[in-house]
Amino acid sequence: MAEGMRLMAVHAHPDDESSKGAATTAKYVAEGASVMVVSCTGGERGDILNEKLKDDPHILRDIAQVRRDEMKAAQEVLGCEHTWLGFVDSGLPEGDPLPPLPEGCFALEDLEVTTEALVRVIRTWRPHVMTTYDEKGGYPHPDHIMCHRVAMAAFEAAGDPSRYPHAGEPWQPLKIYYNGGWSKPRLEAIHEAMLAEGLESPYAEWLANWKPRRSGRPTTMIACADYFETRDRALIAHATQVDPDGFWFQVPLEIQKRVWGVEEFEAALSYVPIAEGEDDLFAGLGTPEEADALATRPGLEVVHDGRITEEAEQEAREQAEEESERRARHLHGDSSDTHVDEPEAAADGAPGAVPEAEARTDAETKTETETETEKAEL
Ligand SMILES: [Zn+2]
């Protein structure tokens, strides 16, 4: 079905392509589509997150080369194409106050310069569909937020002959999606399946400290459980970034496949309608020839705009606050108090059954676990 179609996945660092949407990449490659991964930066400032390789002299001598080699290995596992956009990793600033970003890094580049670089790749490779991160970066790394800005700007400019006229013939990719990532329902489903099997869930603390980040909703579910193993092999190819015995590999594949055998995407902008319950990123584009014709047709208009506006975000925040106040009253204490002694609390189940996770959702302080998880998410 996807034979002859072209998907471009725009990512911030080498390894992001293996942790976000990787099973979808492998699935489309297997179905005869072409997938191009674009890495905006070389990942030069990534920490070595695999304890076993922390002091390896070869790695310490030239981390940039090591990450290029790792990316090559991951690309071979996924069967995709790959290109570097050539910008420099900004690193994840840590400390209080946060240190300034390093001079010349991707996040500080002029948006015109980074956009032109990606427009050039789009006009050369001519993707029908693109993916990138949501406006919050999926997780708050400056390179991920910049990756979103660049991908959206390039999506909007690539088909316009008046923009970057020296960067190739206009080509309008027809849809751009955000990678779904870790949603609360996904975490909960896997967490509960682990407990039901009598296994220890690695997600208990993450769930207990869950904080909603934005109000987005997935529009598109790609059934790709058959490619979870490929996804894991690609991720492990980034040996300095991932400990194969670590956090991300504690849930048996069988449980992941059975409980949440999909990757989710959120349609941000599209020149064709997005149907309810969409299950294919190429849906609505017709044959490759039809999609090619559409991508070069003058006067195309966006028919689906799923971007989150400031107002929608504000509304979602207010709803979350109301919900948290309601819960706080319900619990007869502050939001970190899980002690339940009001009879009406029994409506939710047995007294005391209100899970700590829910009661603590609104905790302002970021726990160490979450910080670690975010780091590992690099
Ligand atoms: Zn990253």
What is the whole-number distance in angstroms between the Cα of residue 17 and the centre of ligand 1? 9
For the chain, domain boundaries: 6-183+218-308, 188-212+315-378
What is the whole-number distance in angstroms between the Cα of residue 9 and the centre of ligand 1? 13
What count of other Cβ atoms lies within 10 Å of the Cβ of residue 84?
A: 16
Query: 263 has which bridge partners?
Result: 222
What is the whole-number distance in angstroms between the Cα of residue 15 and the centre of ligand 1? 7
Tokens (6 digits) for 269: 């902008």
Q: What is the pTM of this model?
A: 0.84
Q: For residue 11, which of 178, 155, 164, 157 has the smallest C-alpha distance?
A: 178
What is the whole-number distance in angstroms between the Cα of residue 315 and the centre of ligand 1? 29
In the structure, ligand 1 is a single-atom ion and the residues with CB under 5 Å from it are 12-13, 16, 378
What is the whole-number distance in angstroms between the Cα of residue 78 and the centre of ligand 1? 18
In whole angstroms, how far apart are CA 110 and each of 114, 192, 263? 7, 45, 32
Phi, psi of 262 (to 5 degrees): -130, 160
What is the whole-number distance in angstroms between the Cα of residue 141 and the centre of ligand 1? 7
Q: How far apart are CA 300 and CA 230, in angstroms?
A: 37
Is 160 annotated as ligand-binding? no
Tokens (6 digits) for 17: 């392509």
What is the whole-number distance in angstroms between the Cα of residue 201 and the centre of ligand 1? 25
Is 13 annotated as ligand-binding? yes
The half-sphere exposure of 339 on its side-chain side, counting CA atoms within 13 A, is: 5
**Domain 6-183+218-308 architecture:** 3-Layer(aba) Sandwich (3.40)
3-state secondary structure of 220: strand
Enter the DSSP assignment of 246: S
pLDDT along the chain (378 residues), means of 10: 95 97 98 98 90 89 93 98 97 91 97 98 98 90 97 98 98 97 91 97 94 85 98 96 90 97 98 98 98 96 92 74 66 39 33 32 36 44
What is the whole-number distance in angstroms between the Cα of residue 85 and the centre of ligand 1? 14
3-state secondary structure of 89: coil
Query: 38 has which bridge partners?
Result: 10, 83
What is the whole-number distance in angstroms between the Cα of residue 239 and the centre of ligand 1? 15
Q: For residue 21, which of 124, 120, 119, 134 has the smallest C-alpha distance?
A: 134
What is the whole-number distance in angstroms between the Cα of residue 120 and the centre of ligand 1? 22
What is the whole-number distance in angstroms between the Cα of residue 240 and the centre of ligand 1? 13
Q: How far apart are CA 169 and CA 153, in angstroms?
A: 17
Is 16 annotated as ligand-binding? yes
What is the whole-number distance in angstroms between the Cα of residue 361 and the centre of ligand 1? 25
